[in-house]
Chain A
Amino acid sequence: SYEVTQAPSVTVSPGQTASITCSGEQLGEKYVSWYQQKPGQPPVLVIYQDTERPSGIPERFSGSNSGNTATLTLRGAQTTDEADYYCQVWETTTIIFGGGTKLTVL
């Protein structure tokens, strides 16, 4: 079965750029979505269709997807961006989530 892999944690300094990756075989041929989840809250969609931002999501959030890796990029990281981030793909009839990456802004 198809799998996607994320690093468990990423640390970034305030104001710097954070990159969170999601890896899977030929992932670039699939559409990737990204979710942000803060403690005690449901996930929030921040990127869909590899690069698109839903309304209300800051321009600081961007996405890319090529080859075997999709990347969520946060420019100008803020302490409010501290959260778990999950990638998600749709493989035939199955939805697959990555294991999540905990972003620390420190």
Chain B
Amino acid sequence: EVLLVQPGADMREPGESLTISCQTSGYTFSDHWITWVRQKAGRGLEWMGRIDPTDSYTTYGPSFQGHVTISTDRSTATAYLHLRSLKSSDTAIYYCARRGDPEAMRGAPFDHWGQGTRVTVSS
């Protein structure tokens, strides 16, 4: 069974940084991109960026370039999202997701998702 496990929630004060983990299991980690998606309360999905665990090649959405860093640890099959200089406007749920098999699923669909990490930024 493919699983992506994220911490349920975290809280930080403005100006602090935070790293969210996404522990994967049930598949070969390096075979699938991991992406991160933000969702503010009552709003839509925002693509933050993605990483190819094979070579750590990353691309970021225009709104997030320079503000976040995505990384992986292949030894533990874990992906990370690092958020820096947090603002109250970063309060949201952050999801990690796995890209489906690129040979069988064209267009980069995301076939397995974590449950999301609810991040609250408040003083």
A binding-site residues for B, Cβ under 8 Å: 1, 30-33, 35, 37, 42-45, 48-50, 52, 54, 84, 86, 88-90, 93-100
Of chain B, the residue at the smallest CB distance from A95 is B47
Residues of chain B within 8 A (CB-CB) of A97 are 37, 44-47
Interface centre among A37, A45, A89, A99 (most CB of B within 10 A): A45
Q: In the complex, given contacts A44-B113, A88-B110, A95-B61, what are 20 additional A-B residue pairs having Cβ atoms less than 8 angstroms apart? A: A31-B106, A31-B108, A42-B95, A43-B45, A43-B97, A45-B110, A48-B105, A48-B107, A49-B106, A49-B107, A49-B109, A52-B105, A54-B111, A86-B45, A88-B45, A88-B107, A95-B47, A95-B50, A98-B44, A100-B45
Of chain B, the residue at the smallest CB distance from A44 is B113
Of chain A, the residue at the smallest CB distance from B35 is A95
Q: In the assembly, what is the distance between CA of A61 and CA of B46, in Å?
A: 24
Which residues of chain B in 47-99 are interfacial with respect to chain A, using CB atoms and an 8 Å cutoff? 47, 50, 59, 61-62, 95, 97
Residues of chain A within 8 A (CB-CB) of B21 are none
Query: What count of chain B residues pass the 8 Å CB interface test?
Result: 24
Residues of chain B within 8 A (CB-CB) of A35 are 45, 110
Of chain A, the residue at the smallest CB distance from B50 is A95
Pair B105/A90 contact, Cβ less than 8 Å: no
Pair B59/A45 contact, Cβ less than 8 Å: no
Residues of chain B within 8 A (CB-CB) of A99 are 44
Residues of chain A within 8 A (CB-CB) of B59 are 93-94
Q: In the assembly, what is the distance between CA of A94 and CA of B65, in Å?
A: 12
Contact residue among B61, B106, B113 (Cβ-Cβ distance under 8 Å from A43)? B113
Residues of chain A within 8 A (CB-CB) of B105 are 48-49, 52
Minimum Cβ distance to chain B for residue A30 (Å) = 7
Residues of chain B within 8 A (CB-CB) of A1 are 62
Minimum Cβ distance to chain A for residue B45 (Å) = 4
Minimum Cβ distance to chain A for residue B49 (Å) = 9
Asked if B115 is at the interface of the complex by the 8 Å CB criterion, the answer is yes
Minimum Cβ distance to chain B for residue A87 (Å) = 10
Q: In the assembly, what is the distance between CA of A32 and CA of B105, in Å?
A: 11
Residues of chain B within 8 A (CB-CB) of A96 are 47
